[in-house]
Chains A and B, each alone.
Chain A
Amino acid sequence: MTILSINNLSVGLPDGGDRDLAVEGVTFSVGKGETLCLVGESGSGKSVVAQAVMGMLPLQLPVKSGNIEFMGAPLPAQRDPAYLAMRSVRMAMIFQDAGASLDPLQRVGDQLEEIALVHGIDRATRKKMVADILDAVHLPDPKKLARAYPHQLSGGQAQRVVIAAALLLNPELLIADEPTTALDVTTQAEILELIEELRRDRGTAVLFITHDFGVVSDIADRVVVMRKGEVVESGEAAPLLRNPQHPYTRTLLAAATSRAAPRDAVDKSAVMTAQNICLTYKSGGPFNRREVEAVKDVSLTLHKGRTTAVVGESGSGKSSFARCLLRLEDVTSGTLTFEGRDITHLEGAEMQALRKRIQVVLQDPFGALNPRRTIGSAIAEGPIIHGATRADARAKAENLLEMVGLTPQAYDRHPHEFSGGQRQRICIARALALDPDVLIADESVSALDVSIQAQVLALFRDLQQRLGFTMLFITHDLRVAAAIADDLLVMQNGRAVEYGNAAEIFANPSQDYTKALLAAAPGQDLTAVSAA
C-alpha cells in the first residue's frame, strides 16, 4: 500500500538564488513499512521535499506545480488548519539536532504528554502511551527518564526521545531529516537499528533524508538521489548501490568506500615523535578547582612522508592531542621531539622557528579565516612573519592558490565570497605557505559535503605526493581515515587504544573498542561490495 506519493513536485526559490526552483519535478512514493532514502548534499533540495510533505514550507518557497498524495488523498494546502490534525497523528518528523527539538525548560515526559493532550487524549491513556513509547525506544529506566530535563540527556538519548515523540501517536509516515549526522558512530548505529526495528514492528513508512551512502546501504529499501533540486537517479537500493548509473551517484558512493592504497614506508626516519603525552586541563578558581585529563599517556611516531590518522569519538581527546603536537598547549608530562631534538619546552625565537615547520588545517572553514582580511593576505601572512618581503609573499600566495585549485585572482577577495570547500583549500594554502615538514589536519573535512570531502582529501594526497610533507589527520570518521591513512591511532577517553598500520587494523583489529567502532560504521555491505 502506498502511503506517500509525490508527483512532479516543483517548489520555487526567491529571486536572486542560484537557481529558479528549489525542487524541480520530483516524483517518488513510499509504501507501508518501507524505508526510502532521499540522498543528496547540502542545497540539493532534499529537506525542502520533507517540508513540503509536512506542510511547513517557508513562505518564500511556494509550491509551483505537482501534487503530493497521502494515503491516496491529496494533502491540504500549505498552512491549512487541516494539517494540525494530521501532524503527529498521521505523519511526524525528526531532525538532525535532537537537543534543539526539545523544550529545555520542560521535563521529557511532560513534553511527550503534551503531544497527546493537543490531540485530545485523556490523562490516563496519555500516561500509559508515554510509558509505552519510552519503553519501545529502549531508553534505560523510562520512569526516571520521563522526569529528566533535556540537558540531562546524552545526544543519543535525546534522539531516542525525539523519535518517541514522533511515533507516540503511531503515525503512518515518519520523516527523518539527517537524524544521525550529529551523533558518534556507535550511537548512530544504535539509532539506525532503532528506526529499523520500529519500522518493522509498526509498519511505519520511513522517509529518511541523508547525505551518507553508508547509512543508505544499511537501511534503505529504495533510494532517490537528488542534486540541485532534481532527481538524478532512483530505484531499488540493492541494484542501485551495486550498479549506479549516474556519475554523481558514483561520486557519492566512492566517497563512502574509498580506501588508501597501501604504501610501503620508503623512508622510515621519524620526523616527529610524541612519548607518553599527558594533558590535564585545569580550570576554576582557588575554591572550585577542576581538572580534566584530556590526554592520558599517548605515544606516536610520525614517519617522513606518511599519513597517520587519529580516530576517536567526540571527547576522546584527539583534538587536545593535536594541540599538544602543535605546542598550542603545554603538555602536563611526556616528551615531544622533532627531528631528534626535544621540543617539549622550547620557547622564544627557537619556538617561532619551529612553528614554521609544523602547520595546521582546522575543522571549521568558516571560523578559520579572519573575516576582515583578504584571503591573499591570510596566506601571505606566514611568510611575512618569518621574514619574507611582501612581493615574495604575494608571489608565493598566488602560486599556492593555483596549487590548491583556485585562481590567483582570488587573492584580493574576502572569505565570505567563498564556499566551505574553497575556504578549506585556502586554509590548506595558508598552512603550506611556510613549507612545513608536518601538516596536522584537525577534522579538516568534517564540515564539508561528501563529494567536496572527497575532493579535499584528494587534494591533501596530491599535495603530499608533490611536496613530501608528513601528515597527521585527525577525524571521527573511519571512512575518512581509511581513505587517507597509512598508519592509524585509535583513541578513547584520552587513551590510545590501538596503534599501527592502518590497513592491518582495518582488516584485523585487535582491541574490542576498535572492533566495536568498525562494526558500528555504516555501510559494511557497501565496502564489502566495492572490495569484491
Chain B
Amino acid sequence: MKLQIPFVVKCAMGFVALFVAFAIFGQWLSPYEFRETSLLNRLKPPGTEGYILGTDARGRDVLVRLAVGAQITLIVAIVGTVIGAMLGSLLGIIAAAKRGWTENAIVAAIDVQASLPIIVVALFVLAMFDNSFTLFLLLIGLTGWEVYARLMRGAVLSAKEHGYVTAVRALGASPARIYLGHILPNVASIALVQFTINLPLTILLETALSFLGLGVQPPLTSLGQMMSEGRDRLLTAWWLTLFPGTIIFLLALSVSLIGDWLRDHLDPTLKSR
C-alpha cells in the first residue's frame, strides 16, 4: 500500500522537523551566549546589526534565547508526555488485565485525576515545594495520564474478547505472551495517536505555567517564559512576544494536524478490508 500524505500534513511534518533542528542547532546561528547581557544594546528591534531578531530588556540576543527556549520546551513536552503515556497505558492495561478491585482502584484514580483542575494543582505543588526542573517535569508528566489509562483499558477489554486471544489462550500461551505479543501491538496505535493529541496540550501547559512564573526558572528559559518576560512591553517591543508566540502556535497546530491524520490513518475501521 502506498502511503498518501496530504499536503497540509507534509507541511506540518516539515515544520516539526525544522523546529527540532532549530532546538538542537539554533544556538550556533548566533555569536552570543543566551545569558550574555549587553546593557548598551537593550531592546534593539529585529534587523539591528548583529541581532537578527533583536534583543530583550537586558540586551540578550532573542535568536539564541529562542533556540534555548525551544530546546527546553521540546524536552519538557516530550519527557512530560512520555511519562504520562507510559504510566497511563500501563495502568490501563493492568486494570483491564486484572479486573476486580485493582481495576476499581485504578478507575477511581482516573476519575480523581480527571476532576482535578490541573493548573491549580500545579500552582499549589510548585508553590509548596522548592521549584526544581525535575519536579516541574514530573508534574507535567503526571498530568494527562488518565486519558491513556481510560483509552487503553477500553481497548484491551475489547481486544480480550477477540477470537484470536481466546485461540491463543487455548494454545497454552502465557499471559505475558498474550498481552505483549498479541494485545499490545493491536492497541498500541491508540496510545500513539493520543500521544500526538497530548503533545500540544503539554506544550501549552508548560507555556502557561512558565508564563505564570512557576515553570522554568531564570536564567534558564523556555518559550512560555520568554512570552511572560515580554508581556510588559507588548506595544514597545513586540518581537519579544511575537516570535515565541508564533512558534508555540505553529508547533501545537502542526502536531495536532499530524495527530489527526495519524488517527484517521491507523483506524482499522476506515481501511478497506
Residues 350-364 of A, flagged 1 when their CB comes within 8 A of B and 0 if not, give 001101101110111
Are B170 and A385 in touch, CB under 8 angstroms? no
Interface membership of A289, Cβ < 8 A = no
Residues 258-273 of B, flagged 1 when their CB comes within 8 A of A and 0 if not, give 0000000000100001
Are A362 and B268 in touch, CB under 8 angstroms? no
Interface membership of B177, Cβ < 8 A = yes
Are B169 and A328 in touch, CB under 8 angstroms? yes
Task: Identify which of A352, A360, A363, A371 contacts B268 (C-beta below 8 A).
Answer: A371
Are A367 and B163 in touch, CB under 8 angstroms? yes
Interface membership of B3, Cβ < 8 A = no
Considering the chains assembled together, what is the distance between the CA atoms of A355 and B174 in angstroms?
11
Are A372 and B172 in touch, CB under 8 angstroms? no
Are B163 and A368 in touch, CB under 8 angstroms? yes
Shortest distance in angstroms between A192's beta carbon and chain B's nearest beta carbon?
31
Shortest distance in angstroms between A218's beta carbon and chain B's nearest beta carbon?
33
What are 26 A-B interface contacts by the 8 Å CB criterion?
A: A285-B104, A328-B166, A352-B174, A353-B172, A355-B170, A355-B171, A355-B172, A356-B172, A359-B170, A360-B166, A362-B166, A362-B167, A363-B163, A367-B162, A367-B163, A368-B167, A369-B164, A370-B185, A370-B186, A371-B268, A372-B186, A381-B173, A382-B171, A416-B273, A434-B171, A434-B172
Q: Which residue of A lies closest to B273 (CB)?
A: A416
Report B's interface with A, CB cutoff 8 A. Answer: 104, 162-164, 166-174, 177, 182, 185-186, 268, 273
Report A's interface with B, CB cutoff 8 A. Answer: 285, 326, 328, 352-353, 355-356, 358-360, 362-364, 367-373, 378, 381-382, 385-386, 416, 427, 430-431, 434
Shortest distance in angstroms between A333's beta carbon and chain B's nearest beta carbon?
22
Q: Which residue of A lies closest to B186 (CB)?
A: A372
Considering the chains assembled together, what is the distance between the CA atoms of A98 and B167 in angstroms?
32
Are B171 and A358 in touch, CB under 8 angstroms? no
Shortest distance in angstroms between A470's beta carbon and chain B's nearest beta carbon?
16
Considering the chains assembled together, what is the distance between the CA atoms of A363 and B163 in angstroms?
8
Contacts of B273 in A (CB 8 A): 416
Q: Which residue of A lies closest to B104 (CB)?
A: A285
Shortest distance in angstroms between A420's beta carbon and chain B's nearest beta carbon?
11
Contacts of A359 in B (CB 8 A): 170-171
Q: Which residue of B lies closest to A427 (CB)?
A: B167
Are B164 and A370 in touch, CB under 8 angstroms? yes
- Known pairs A372-B185, A385-B172; A360 contacts B177 (CB<8 A): no
Q: Which residue of A lies closest to B164 (CB)?
A: A370
Shortest distance in angstroms between A497's beta carbon and chain B's nearest beta carbon?
27
Most buried by B among A367, A370, A373, A434: A370
Contacts of B173 in A (CB 8 A): 381, 385
The number of inter-chain residue pairs (CB within 8 angstroms) is 63
Contacts of A358 in B (CB 8 A): 170
Shortest distance in angstroms between B117's beta carbon and chain A's nearest beta carbon?
28
Closest 5 pairs between A and B when the two form their complex, measured CB to CB: A355-B172, A368-B163, A367-B163, A382-B171, A370-B164
Contacts of A328 in B (CB 8 A): 166, 169-170
Considering the chains assembled together, what is the distance between the CA atoms of A386 and B171 in angstroms?
9
Are B186 and A430 in touch, CB under 8 angstroms? no
Q: What DSSP secondary structure best describes chain B's contact surface? A: helix
Are B185 and A430 in touch, CB under 8 angstroms? no
Contacts of B162 in A (CB 8 A): 367
Contacts of A378 in B (CB 8 A): 164
Shortest distance in angstroms between A368's beta carbon and chain B's nearest beta carbon?
4
Shortest distance in angstroms between B58's beta carbon and chain A's nearest beta carbon?
56
Contacts of B170 in A (CB 8 A): 326, 328, 355, 358-360
Contacts of A372 in B (CB 8 A): 185-186
Contacts of B168 in A (CB 8 A): 370, 381
Shortest distance in angstroms between A325's beta carbon and chain B's nearest beta carbon?
11
Shortest distance in angstroms between B265's beta carbon and chain A's nearest beta carbon?
15
Are B166 and A430 in touch, CB under 8 angstroms? no
Contacts of A385 in B (CB 8 A): 171-174, 177
Are B163 and A386 in touch, CB under 8 angstroms? no
Considering the chains assembled together, what is the distance between the CA atoms of A367 and B164 in angstroms?
6
Shortest distance in angstroms between A385's beta carbon and chain B's nearest beta carbon?
5
**Besides the known contacts A328-B166, A355-B172, 12 further A-B residue pairs in the complex with CB atoms under 8 A apart:** A326-B170, A328-B170, A352-B172, A356-B172, A362-B167, A368-B166, A369-B167, A372-B186, A378-B164, A382-B171, A386-B172, A434-B171
Contacts of B167 in A (CB 8 A): 360, 362, 368-369, 427, 430-431
Considering the chains assembled together, what is the distance between the CA atoms of A367 and B268 in angstroms?
13
Considering the chains assembled together, what is the distance between the CA atoms of A356 and B104 in angstroms?
34
Task: Identify which of A362, A364, A371, A382 contacts B186 (C-beta below 8 A).
Answer: A371
Q: Which residue of A lies closest to B165 (CB)?
A: A370
Shortest distance in angstroms between B260's beta carbon and chain A's nearest beta carbon?
23
Shortest distance in angstroms between B182's beta carbon and chain A's nearest beta carbon?
5
Contacts of A364 in B (CB 8 A): 163
Contacts of A434 in B (CB 8 A): 171-172
Most buried by B among A353, A358, A362, A427: A362
Considering the chains assembled together, what is the distance between the CA atoms of A524 and B178 in angstroms?
46
Considering the chains assembled together, what is the distance between the CA atoms of A372 and B186 in angstroms?
7
Shortest distance in angstroms between B33's beta carbon and chain A's nearest beta carbon?
50
Considering the chains assembled together, what is the distance between the CA atoms of A378 and B171 in angstroms?
10
- Known pairs A370-B186, A416-B273; A381 contacts B164 (CB<8 A): no
Contacts of A427 in B (CB 8 A): 167
Task: Identify which of B171, B185, B268 contacts A381 (C-beta below 8 A).
Answer: B171
Shortest distance in angstroms between B57's beta carbon and chain A's nearest beta carbon?
56
Considering the chains assembled together, what is the distance between the CA atoms of A367 and B182 in angstroms?
13
Considering the chains assembled together, what is the distance between the CA atoms of A477 and B169 in angstroms?
27
Q: Which residue of A lies closest to B172 (CB)?
A: A355
Considering the chains assembled together, what is the distance between the CA atoms of A356 and B168 in angstroms?
11
Q: Which residue of A lies closest to B182 (CB)?
A: A370
Q: Which residue of A lies closest to B268 (CB)?
A: A371
Q: Which residue of B lies closest to A352 (CB)?
A: B172
Are A362 and B171 in touch, CB under 8 angstroms? no
Q: Which residue of B lies closest to A354 (CB)?
A: B172
Q: Which residue of B lies closest to A323 (CB)?
A: B166
Shortest distance in angstroms between B95's beta carbon and chain A's nearest beta carbon?
14
Considering the chains assembled together, what is the distance between the CA atoms of A381 and B170 in angstroms?
11
Contacts of A356 in B (CB 8 A): 171-172
Contacts of A367 in B (CB 8 A): 162-164
Shortest distance in angstroms between A396's beta carbon and chain B's nearest beta carbon?
13
Shortest distance in angstroms between B142's beta carbon and chain A's nearest beta carbon?
28
